[in-house]
Structure 1
């Protein structure tokens, strides 16, 4: 990528963010391959050269759409103390993901639909970051199994079940409908936790 966001002025950071948001909207509306750099520039209200000032090519924008999303999720779990009860930790994972469905719905849908369009090098970085986030969740689930808070089960499968419930919701969740993202997250969590928790948990 041409410039790190940290090297930009506040105005430059805002313009770069606007380009990413516009691209996410257009990729979602028209498709990744059907969206040109000129269309992104028009949506932002800038010259095409301005887009190229921040991103050398379109795949870099697609990567940033994913990177912002996974970095935000990773930061949330990294900031959660190990002292937080497992049930509350897992509930918050559901809430974090569903909140992004609410606030960055275009970004989330674009990532799942067009992840494979990333060049190999960028896809490897994106996969590494996503795998790290998943391992953090899996580790907490493994601890829950080991301590008896969760029933005996394969931690990775339990983690994938969690992500399957959360991530598939991008297909049907739409902001502003009857239930809020938090209400949906809590409903999904209750269904999930009823299946993985121990009948008589040894710890909360």
Structure 2
């Protein structure tokens, strides 16, 4: 009886092509690198002063290579801003799903918002914004921003209803809170001496408590007098 030569196991050869899943992951990683680099340059130099050549140079690739991952500079900006707003929406949704008092949810959402505007994508929302984009793209981004604003308004209204926030116009209050937190993205510098968590702590404390000096209460002296009388 003739012996058969064993077949070589499929998949043991060294192929120069990676499996489809690995190729997709690699492509996504490279696309994210393009967006991250572009966002940093947009924030440092400005959108109009940054070219695709500049982005390609930073990544050590040719300009035509970029078109495999993005369509245009407008497309890059859209994806950067969309990424930041998506991060905000996801963070707020997680806070809302966890439940709890409205004021605690509001503070948690403010912390998320503050942290994201110190990141490259978040700073793009604040420093570059939607103005360089064509009208249809601006409309999409405004819709995403409106969703975030709506969440802040609902939390403020709920906080007023539960008695943890002073009566106010939720719309105006949401504009003030988001506007103040957004401005962090204008002046924040990684080498500025304060990390994002410290900045968030101070900003939220100021916004929630204000800066006006409160008159001292009389409750503490009364307590001290009573304690002194008992000791005598």
Q: Which aligned pairs between 1:30-109 and structure 2 lie closer than 5 A?
A: 30-80=45-95, 81=97, 83-102=99-118, 104=119, 106-109=120-123
- The answer to whether the 8 Å contact 2:35/2:80 transfers is yes
State the distance in 1 between where 2:81 and 2:111 align: 18
Alignment match, 2:8: none
Alignment match, 2:128: 114
State the distance in 2 between where 1:114 and 1:191 align: 26
- The answer to whether the 8 Å contact 1:137/1:159 transfers is yes
Give the TM-score of the pair, scaled to structure 1: 0.83
When residues 190 and 29 of structure 1 are mapped into structure 2, their CA distance, relative to the original with a 3 A threshold, is closer
Query: After alignment, is 164-173 or 92-101 more displaced?
Result: 92-101
- The answer to whether the 8 Å contact 2:85/2:122 transfers is no
State the distance in 2 between where 1:94 and 1:149 align: 16
Q: CA deviation at 1:29?
A: 2.7
Q: CA deviation at 1:94?
A: 2.5
Alignment match, 1:149: 164
When residues 88 and 76 of structure 1 are mapped into structure 2, their CA distance, relative to the original with a 3 A threshold, is same
Kindly indicate whether residue 25 of structure 2 is the aligned counterpart of residue 10 of structure 1: yes
Q: CA deviation at 1:140?
A: 1.0
Higher relative contact order (CA 8 A, sep 6+): 1
Larger Rg: 2
Structure 1 segments (4+ residues) deviating >3 Å = none
When residues 159 and 182 of structure 1 are mapped into structure 2, their CA distance, relative to the original with a 3 A threshold, is same
Give the TM-score of the pair, scaled to structure 2: 0.74
Alignment match, 2:7: none
Unpaired segments ≥5 residues, structure 2: 1-22, 211-232
- The answer to whether the 8 Å contact 1:101/1:181 transfers is no
- The answer to whether the 8 Å contact 1:62/1:111 transfers is no
- The answer to whether the 8 Å contact 1:73/1:96 transfers is yes
Alignment match, 2:3: none
Unpaired segments ≥5 residues, structure 1: 1-7, 196-204
Kindly indicate whether residue 205 of structure 2 is the aligned counterpart of residue 190 of structure 1: yes
- The answer to whether the 8 Å contact 1:138/1:156 transfers is yes
**Larger helix share, 1 or 2:** 1
